[in-house]
Amino acid sequence: MSKINNSPKASAVTKKKNVILRVLGMLYRDYPRLVPITACCILFAALVSAIPAIFIQKITAAIEIHVLTGDYAAAAKEIVPSIIFLASLYVISIIAITVDTQLTAKITQGFLSKMRIRMFRGMQNLPIKYFDTHKHGDIMSYYTNDIDTLRELISRSIPTLLRSGIIVLTVFGIMIYYSVWLTLILILGVILMLLVSKKAGGGSAKHFIGLQRSVGKLEGYVQEMMNGQKVVKVFSREEKCSEEFRAVNNTLYEESFKAHAYSNVLGPVIMNIGNIMYVIIATVGGLFLLIPNFYNLSLSSIPFGISIVVPFLNMTKQFTGNINQLSQQINSIVMAMAGANRVFELIDEEPEADDGYVTLVNARVDENGNITEVPEHTGKWAWRHPHSEDGSVTYTLLRGDVRMTDVDFEYEEGKPVLRDVSVYAEPGQKVAFVGATGAGKTTITNLINRYYDIADGKIRYDGININKIKKSDLRRSLGIVLQETNLFTGTVMDNIRYGKLEATDEECIAAAKLSGADDFIRRLPAGYNTELSGNGSNLSQGQRQLIAIARAAVADPPVMILDEATSSIDTRTEAIVQAGMDKLMQGRTVFVIAHRLSTVRNSDVIMVLDHGRIIERGSHEKLIAEKGTYYQLYTGAFELE
């Protein structure tokens, strides 16, 4: 019975091989015609570089036989055709090299472009939890440093490996043909080169992998500090941040120094071993020429002479030079494998699971209440529910009835966030969540839109278990305004239209008027065509929030989730927004999370949460009359925080 090797070293080697094979396989799949053409051009140019020794031997032999005897015509007859043929090969080789370089550039940049698309597409399908647990700067490093190592691999390392490998094998074959004894001397030097390469390359490999990780951590820290500059300055933590950055940077320095300390010594050592071998072979070859008795020891079928020694020395230089070229690629390959491995880790991340099969469709309801699916937008939606048992399809009108029953949830195992939570929101109701930070308010809304899945209990939407609803359709039925506003590079109109890409300018303007954003937008330099960048840095926090509310309004969803939607708006602006919000919320189911209790007074139901449990529920009047936690919060007996 064979023994399976499960050692970390064996698995690392296997993983590295798999990464290399995967890169090569993807290259061929992306460019099934260009890759073979490029390989053929490299092959031809390499062979042309390897065979001049044959012609040098013939020319040297012709000089040795004919020129020294004065038969110049015979010498010319042998030498000129060889020179013409070799020159012709070089001309064709120049064409092949030109084609090779152009195709390599096209393949490299095209492959990297496709890899970025694969990475971004995969990233878009990742669950929210991934972005909660990975620094954004580290993720950005995948698209910059890690992908750049693949550029070096494809544009330089792989062609060099192929070219130098072909030259080494071809020259080695010619050398054996000319002189086995001299080749055996060269082999001893090659063995020494391989031992040095293994030692230096193996030492640098682990540090190059650590180098890639350290670069990601450094970029993650820099981005974190850039995002938090206001906090850093207000607490005068510049020196502390500098110390932390110095520690991260020192780790990068150590990994970089060790990686390059090993790699930088490799080239000079290999080159000098080659020079030593050149001297040894020149000395031995000279002895062979001086001592005729050595001729009987040669196993070559060609008589040994100066016509063998001269091209053999050139081949020795060429052979050791290309061995050095191969050894120099070890560092690039190790870095590329580290980068490629990180890239594939991102691509191979488990995408957000979605087993939903109930979809949201445009619907028309006749006078008898029958629901019909239609292609055009009618202002009404329905859940299309196929049944696998009998193949039938039923339609449920989208009303916005959301019910959570006995829900338990935890972000980390063993640390419950919600316990036995039940929420009932009937169509058109406004449900408010009140409680201290960390009580579980935002978590409830994250579960409704399935950013996370519950551990226990049920969540039903219009009577349908939300696990059965396709996530994209579920989220399309929800309008969300978050506390942290994200605006994208583009015009104000583009940012409002983000909520509904097919919306007309008139619909976007109507949504802006509804949210109260129209007034300040028209005062901007270019009105709705004003360009925004840097997450709307040229707007105030309140203005950015108003645009976010307009973006949700243009989508016209039946259910709204307002997570601290007015937290960044001053009291005067809040009154404007609240009037628009009241219009927006008419006929919709609305979930409101707010610290300002004045914004939830008119809610149908107010739920007070404490440490993941609902401790009070009822209308404003009811909760005030009970004089419990809500009453104390409202009257200022104690603060939310």
Please, which pLDDT band fits residue 528 given cuts at 50, 70 and 90? very high
Neighbours of 131 (CB within 10 A): 12
Asked if residues 111 and 26 have their Cβ atoms less than 8 Å apart, the reply is: yes
pLDDT over 50 at 14, yes or no: no
- Residue 216 near residue 134 (C-beta atoms within 8 A): no
246-255, 311-320, 467-476 — most confident range: 467-476
Mean pLDDT, all residues of the chain: 80
Question: Mean pLDDT over residues 450-473, rounded?
Answer: 91
In this predicted structure, which of 206-210, 289-293, 444-448 has the lowest mean pLDDT? 289-293
**What pLDDT, on a 0 to 100 scale, did the predictor assign at position 146?**
84
Q: Is 608 helix (H, G, I), strand (E, B) or coil?
A: strand
Contact 269, 218 (CB under 8 A): no
Question: Which carries the bigger pLDDT value, residue 70 or residue 608?
Answer: 608
Q: How many residues are recorded in the chain?
A: 641
Give the other-Cβ count within 10 Å of 467's Cβ.
18
Rounded CA separation 202/196 (Å): 10
**What is the band of 107 on the pLDDT scale with cuts at 50, 70, 90?**
very high
Alpha-carbon distance of 402 to 424, in angstroms, equals: 6
pLDDT attached to residue 385: 92
Residue 469 predicted with pLDDT over 90? yes
For residue 541, the number of C-alpha atoms closer than 13 Å in the C-beta half-sphere is 10
Q: Which of 398, 414, 302 has its CA nearest to residue 359? A: 398
* Least confident segment among 57-61, 184-188, 364-368, 425-429: 57-61
Under the banding of pLDDT at 50, 70 and 90, the label for residue 416 is confident
Mean pLDDT of 604-628: 90
Indicate whether this model's pTM tops 0.85. no
Bridge-based pairing state of the strands 531-532 and 490-491: antiparallel
- What are the residue boundaries of the structural domains of the chain, listed by start? 8-347, 359-397, 402-634
CA gap 449, 480 in Å, rounded: 9
174-219 confidence digits (pLDDT tens)? 888 877 877 887 888 778 777 776 666 555 666 666 776 777 777 7
Q: What type of residue sits at position 25?
A: G
pLDDT at 509: 93
> Alpha-carbon distance 605 to 622, whole Å?
10
Could you tell me which of 406, 499, 395 has the C-alpha nearest to residue 447? 406
Tokens of 21: 């094979």
Least confidently predicted of 12-16, 55-59, 390-394: 12-16
Do the beta carbons of residue 376 and residue 502 sit within 8 Å?
no
pLDDT at residue 66, rounded to an integer: 61
Structure confidence at residue 203 (pLDDT)? 58
Which range is least confidently modeled, 343-357, 520-534, 572-586? 572-586
pLDDT per residue over 221-242, tens digit each?
777 777 677 667 656 777 878 8
In angstroms, how far apart are the furthest CA atoms of the chain?
126
Task: Indicate the range of 104-108, 213-217, 226-230, 466-470 predicted with least confidence.
Answer: 226-230
Q: What pLDDT does 596 receive? A: 72
Between 470 and 333, the more confident residue is 470
Helices (H), 51-71: 52-62
> Which residue has 């051009």 as its token pair?
41
From CA 41, how far away is CA 95, in angstroms rounded? 9
The residue behind tokens 């490998």 is 165
pLDDT at position 255? 77
User: Would you say 478 and 402 are in contact if contact means Cβ atoms under 8 Å apart?
Assistant: no
Mean per-residue pLDDT for 460-467?
92
- Token couple for 478: 């929800």
In CATH terms, the superfamily for domain 8-347 is ABC transporter type 1, transmembrane domain (1.20.1560.10)
- Find the mean pLDDT for residues 610-624: 90
pLDDT value, residue 529: 93
Model confidence at 313, in pLDDT bands (50, 70, 90)?
confident
Q: Calculate ∠ Cα 602-606-611, nearest 5°.
A: 150
| pLDDT of amino acid 2 | 37
Q: What is the mean pLDDT of residues 513-518?
A: 84
Q: How confident is the model at residue 40 (pLDDT cuts 50, 70, 90)?
A: very high
Burial (Cβ within 10 Å: 0-12, 13-18, ≥19) of residue 230: exposed
Calpha distance 362→474 (Å, rounded): 14
Rounded Cα–Cα distance for residues 232 and 241 (Å): 8
CA distance 480 to 550: 11
Segment 373-377 mean pLDDT: 86
Q: Which helix (H) or strand (E) holds 549?
A: helix 541-555
Topology given in CATH for the domain delimited by 402-634: Rossmann fold (3.40.50)
Angle of helix 34-50 versus helix 52-62 axis, rounded to 10:
20
The sheet that has 456-461: what strands, in order across it? 415-425, 402-412, 456-461, 464-465
